[in-house]
Amino acid sequence: MTAPIERNAVVAVIGAGAMGTGIAQIAATAGHPVRLFDVKPGAAAAAIAGLHATLSRLADKGKLSADAAASAAQRVHLAETISELDDAALVVEAVVERLDVKRTLFAELESVVGPGCILASNTSSISITAIAAGLQQPQRVLGMHFFNPAPLMALVEVVSGLATDAALAQAVYDLALAWGKSPVHTKSTPGFIVNRVARPYYAEGLRLLHEGAADAATIDAVMREAGGFRMGPFELMDLIGNDVNLAVTRSVFEAFYNDPRFTPSLIQQELVNGGFLGRKSGRGFYSYAVDATAPAPQTEAAAALPASISLWAGSACAAGIATRLRAAGVIFESHAAAHADGRLLDAGGTAVYLSDGRSATWRASDSGDRATVVLDLALDYAKAKRVALCAADQASAAEFGAAVSVFQAAGFAVSRFDDVPGMAVMRTVAMLANEAADAVNQGVCSAAAADLAMQKGVNYPRGPLGWADAIGLPHVLAVLDHLAQAYGEDRYRASPLIRRKVWAGGRFDA
Ligand code: NAI
């Protein structure tokens, strides 16, 4: 049994940049004496001055009592040299993202700190096993991966390398909990949980843009207003910086020996080539010039309702649409049982299906019914502001319009995508769940940890595995298998764990 890290134990933070300063603030606010060290002269002192200002701002806003802010500020001490960190119970390193620098630093720390001191790295991409290699006590090295801005983001990935002592990882997990954070355990594998599982959020958006499914503003609007994500992939990449986002994708891609699942996008590479880095350079997917106006998402013009509408219940999707149609006073025929071919509704002869990964054209070819329209996934059809639809190439404009009109009558804005398999939200959520399932299958983390990490680390509206359970794992597997068939690419191979759960009739219950 390892002793817990006491509230009055000294926490040392190395690197007084954005992350180190935030981590120092968290530890000091939680009651720890904090020692902050930075190799650059004046950097730690400037960070401490900034921290004092932040704490008093928090007190002014009533987020902290004046007493709590003042005593937290007093607990942060400047360390002039590494040797002043000798009384630390925990060191959190947040210096430049370079293995050689981190290794040298950890070796130096070993000669300074006591035998019980835990050495943590805030690295987001370097192997904890590699940082610990060659140290005298590699078992006390682990990752404590905060998210930016650290005081606001709840997630902490507690990363165990090959040599990490599980009891120490648990002590750090408990400490993060005591600091009010949401910690998760993970193994030291490329991208840990969040930076790996989030890749499809960007990759599928980029893929859709590359294939001309819709423009960036439309895909972003659908991901936000149907998917419930806080930001669409393109506005998010512009915020992160296309150079930074591409670098993370590249590092995960290379670390997985060029697994096609993580293939970087030519579109993003070209933006980086051109210096279109996003907000910071004034232009990325969007322009941020002072006179620029944000492009509006494509939205279908109002269409006339057909004479007859039928809706087949039996799914959350159909229930949400039915409730909205009723509230809008639209008369429709409601069937209690599911339709034999799975259609959700019939709009004057146009069959509308929830995307199962087949394009509408493919579905129409399979069924022989040319009036086929496919609906993208929404987080909650009872509340979504927008939905996306695809029409089969075989369908007429009037047949598509009939489907559009029903969703408009139910209060949705409707965006039309070119007829791509899996559409946007369905394809992205299936791929996020697939990646999370693979991480679970490979022992990187538990299903619950994967879901918590994505909700707390990148603010997803729902954990991908819980979301996949809600959609139905057989449906998610069908989406993946259809995408694999449509593209003939290994990128869309289904995780063996999803397939296994479908065979067993199981769920993730994350
Ligand atoms: P930063 O560039 O803002 O700060 C790094 C600081 O470390 C600088 O003040 C620098 O002078 C100092 N430093 C460099 N080498 C040093 C050494 N040998 N000893 C002591 N201090 C040294 O960097 P940032 O963004 O705070 O990142 C720090 C670490 O946190 C990196 O490992 C990064 O990958 C990781 N990280 C960054 C996130 C972010 O969004 N910025 C999120 C999560 C992790």
CA-to-CA distance for 454 and 450, rounded, in angstroms? 6
Instruction: Report the DSSP pairing between strands 309-312 and 345-347.
Output: antiparallel
Distance 213 CA to ligand 1 centre (A): 39
Backbone angles phi, psi at 172, to 5 degrees: -70, -35
Nearby residues of 340 by Cβ (< 8 Å), 6 or more positions away:
none
Cα end-to-end span (Å), the chain:
28
Instruction: State both tokens at 128.
Output: 């904890």
Nearby residues of 290 by Cβ (< 8 Å), 6 or more positions away:
none
Distance 481 CA to ligand 1 centre (A): 41
Ligand 1: does its nearest atom lie under 6 Å from the Cβ of 19? yes
Q: Is 157 annotated in the active site?
A: yes
H/E segment holding residue 204: helix 199-210
Distance 146 CA to ligand 1 centre (A): 12
CA-to-CA distance for 17 and 405, rounded, in angstroms? 53
* Residues composing the chain: 510
Instruction: Give tens-digit pLDDT for 268-283.
Output: 999 999 999 999 999 9
pLDDT at residue 240 is higher than 70: yes
Distance 357 CA to ligand 1 centre (A): 42
Q: CB atoms < 10 A from the CB of 494, how many?
A: 21
CA-nearest residue, atom 12 of ligand 1: 15
Ligand 1: does its nearest atom lie under 6 Å from the Cβ of 470? no
Distance 145 CA to ligand 1 centre (A): 12
Q: Name the one residue in this structure whose structure tokens are 């134990």.
A: 9
Averaged over 84-105, what is the pLDDT?
97
Ligand 1: does its nearest atom lie under 6 Å from the Cβ of 194? no
Instruction: State both tokens at 180.
Output: 């009010």
Residue 1: what pLDDT?
59
- Coil, strand or helix: which one is 137? coil
Ligand 1: does its nearest atom lie under 6 Å from the Cβ of 40? yes
What is the share, in percent, of the chain residues with pLDDT greater than 70?
A: 100
Ligand 1: does its nearest atom lie under 6 Å from the Cβ of 124? yes
Instruction: Give tens-digit pLDDT for 379-406.
Output: 999 999 999 999 999 999 999 999 999 9
Probe ligand 1: pick from 23, 25, 36, 39, max atoms within 8 Å of CB? 39
CA-to-CA distance for 293 and 287, rounded, in angstroms? 8
pLDDT at residue 424 is higher than 80: yes
Q: Is 145 annotated in the active site?
A: yes
Q: Is 32 annotated in the active site?
A: no
Which ligand 1 atom is nearest residue 21's CA?
26
Averaged over 113-135, what is the pLDDT?
96
pLDDT at residue 150 is higher than 90: yes
pLDDT at residue 188 is higher than 90: yes
Ligand 1: does its nearest atom lie under 6 Å from the Cβ of 101? yes
DSSP one-letter string for 12-78: EEE--SHHHHHHHHHHHHTT--EEEE-SSTTHHHHHHHHHHHHHHHHHHTTSS-HHHHHHHHHHEEE
Distance 93 CA to ligand 1 centre (A): 8
CA-nearest residue, atom 39 of ligand 1: 148
CA-nearest residue, atom 44 of ligand 1: 124
CA-to-CA distance for 436 and 428, rounded, in angstroms? 12
Q: What angle do CA 445, 448, 449 make, to 5 degrees?
A: 45
Residue 82: what pLDDT?
97
Residue 316: what pLDDT?
84
Distance 20 CA to ligand 1 centre (A): 7
Ligand 1: does its nearest atom lie under 6 Å from the Cβ of 15? yes
CA-to-CA distance for 287 and 125, rounded, in angstroms? 30
Residue 3: what pLDDT?
80
Ligand 1: does its nearest atom lie under 6 Å from the Cβ of 17? yes
Sheet holding 11-14, edge to edge: 76-78, 34-37, 11-14, 90-93, 118-121, 141-146, 155-160, 182-187
Ligand 1: does its nearest atom lie under 6 Å from the Cβ of 105? yes
Catalytic residue of the set 32, 122, 157, 475: 157
CA-nearest residue, atom 1 of ligand 1: 17
Q: Which residues of 320-346 are buried (b: 16+ CB within 10 A; e: fewer)?
A: bbbebbeeeebebeeeeeebeeebbbb
Averaged over 236-262, what is the pLDDT?
96
Residue 502: what pLDDT?
98
Q: Which residues of 60-99 are buried (b: 16+ CB within 10 A; e: fewer)?
A: eeeebeeeebeebbebbbebeebeebbebbbbbbbbeeee
DSSP code, position 278: B
Residue 2: what pLDDT?
75
Relative orientation angle of helices 496-504 and 473-487, to the nearest 10 degrees: 140
Instruction: Give tens-digit pLDDT for 333-355.
Output: 999 999 999 999 999 999 999 99
Q: Is 254 annotated in the active site?
A: no
CA-nearest residue, atom 8 of ligand 1: 17
Q: What residue spans of 216-281 are helical by DSSP H?
A: 216-225, 233-240, 242-255, 266-273
Catalytic residue of the set 93, 122, 127, 145: 145
Averaged over 2-10, what is the pLDDT?
90
pLDDT at residue 510 is higher than 90: no
DSSP code, position 416: E
Residue 313: what pLDDT?
84
Which ligand 1 atom is nearest residue 101's CA?
18
Instruction: Give tens-digit pLDDT for 23-81.
Output: 999 999 999 999 999 999 999 999 999 999 999 999 999 999 999 999 999 999 999 99
Instruction: Give tens-digit pLDDT for 202-214.
Output: 999 999 999 999 9
What is the share, in percent, of the chain residues with pLDDT greater than 90?
A: 98
CA-nearest residue, atom 17 of ligand 1: 39
Probe ligand 1: pick from 26, 82, 95, max atoms within 8 Å of CB? 95
Backbone angles phi, psi at 310, to 5 degrees: -125, 145
Averaged over 436-464, what is the pLDDT?
98
